[in-house]
Amino acid sequence: MDFTDYTFQVIAIGTAILGAVCGMLGSFAVLRKQSLLGDAISHAALPGIAIAFLITGAKDSNILLLGALVSGLVGTFWIRGIITKTHLKSDTALGLILSLFFGFGMLLLTFIQKQPNANQAGLDKYLFGQAATLLIEDVWLMGIVTTACLFVLLLFWKEFKLLLFDSDYTKTLGFNTKFIDILITSFIVLAIVLGLQTVGVVLMSAMLLAPAAAARQWTNSLGTMVFLAAIFGAFSGVFGTVISASQNNLSTGPVIVIVAGIFVIFSFIFSPSRGLLFKQIRFMKNRRDLELHKTLAFMYGIAETHENISHPHTIKLLNHFQGFTKKTLKELEEKNYIKISGTEWSLTQEGFDTASNLYNQQSKNDE
């Protein structure tokens, strides 16, 4: 694979920009619990592409994308209409619009394919996307949209953030929540439409979600999350392009999605504060500490009945007690709570004090 190849460079830059803008806007979708909106919008864009082609007869991707944008927005607002005007829930509304628009789009696509003008080839690339068809003009368009998006994000940062975490408060402060809401949703639709050519209708939602879901695991700050999501998205784009270019028969879209998926899995497992691995380690440590305390408390119970607290007892005495293992004994000895000589143990003064205060000094939290 020749990485200095012009076409390759164009595609790599294109997918990187796409990943970045999707990551940025996806963060908002994920945090607003609108993750599946992306899926619905991308499917809803399909009839727009077909109708734009039917009207203009042009294959110019900008016109087709404009059609996609309009149809995506129509879908989005219909979803809102269904949720606010009827008692149908959001999942039903999303599923409805997604499948109905997609089906209608398929009807139009097959209708177009049977038309006599041979100009129609290439419409089905929007189903699964073909990064290979990206031209430098498309990349420019992506760049412009991303810049605009970045500009709006910075301009309305405070409002977006406020709306995200406390929409009622935003309203009481006098912000036009409807406007902010429509603004951010429109940009999400725009990002999705941009990605259709590269990643395709079916997989576009993952492009939006995966970088954001991965970024969420590493931080609790919105700014950092948006930034990280953009980085993850861009890297998914570039890696996906490299991998698919180095192999035959690999379309770029699915590979990018899988790379993004790997980012997510890695973040789920290895994130220090939320990750499953460290959570499990913390869990095990807590359990061990608890067992240690349990054993110590049991020993304390025995030692209490003797005048000399350091009176030695045989280890066998502990055998029926669950929390005890050789390891816990050793650990207790290391902490200087007990002394072990042969098959006998005895509490030290320190161990006695710790044990007596075990359950009434929770705030001390020495273990």
Nearer of residues 119 and 343 to another protein, judged by Cβ: 119
How many residues does this entry show for the chain?
367
The residue (of 35 and 177) whose beta carbon lies closer to another protein is 35
Is-contact 80 185, C-beta < 8 A?
no
Using CB under 8 A as the binding rule, whether residue 98 contacts another protein is answered as: yes
Kindly state the tokens that stand for 274: 């939320």
103 forms part of the interface with another protein (CB under 8 A): yes
**According to the binding rule CB under 8 A, does residue 75 interact with another protein?**
no
100 makes contact with another protein (CB under 8 A) = yes
Q: Which two tokens stand for residue 179?
A: 């406007």
Residues 134 and 198 sit within 8 Å (Cβ to Cβ): yes
Which residues, numbered 227-286, are part of the site for another protein (CB under 8 A)?
249-251, 253-255, 257-258, 261, 264, 268, 274, 276
User: How far is residue 241's CA from residue 235's CA, in Å, rounded to a whole number?
Assistant: 10
Task: Count CB neighbours of 321 within 10 A.
Answer: 11
- CA 123, CA 53: separation in Å to the nearest integer? 9
Interacting positions 128-167 with another protein (CB under 8 A): 128
154: which 2 tokens? Answer: 């910075």
Terminal C-alpha separation, the chain: 56
Nearer to another protein, 262 or 317 (CB): 262
Q: Which stretch binds another protein (CB under 8 A): 110-118, 169-177, 300-308, 334-342?
A: 110-118
Asked if 320 interacts with another protein (CB under 8 A), we say no
| Dist. CA 42–CA 192, nearest whole Å | 6
Site for another protein, rule CB under 8 A: 30, 33-36, 38-39, 43, 81-82, 85-89, 91-92, 94-96, 98-111, 114, 124, 127-128, 202-203, 205-206, 208-210, 213, 216-217, 249-251, 253-255, 257-258, 261, 264, 268, 274, 276
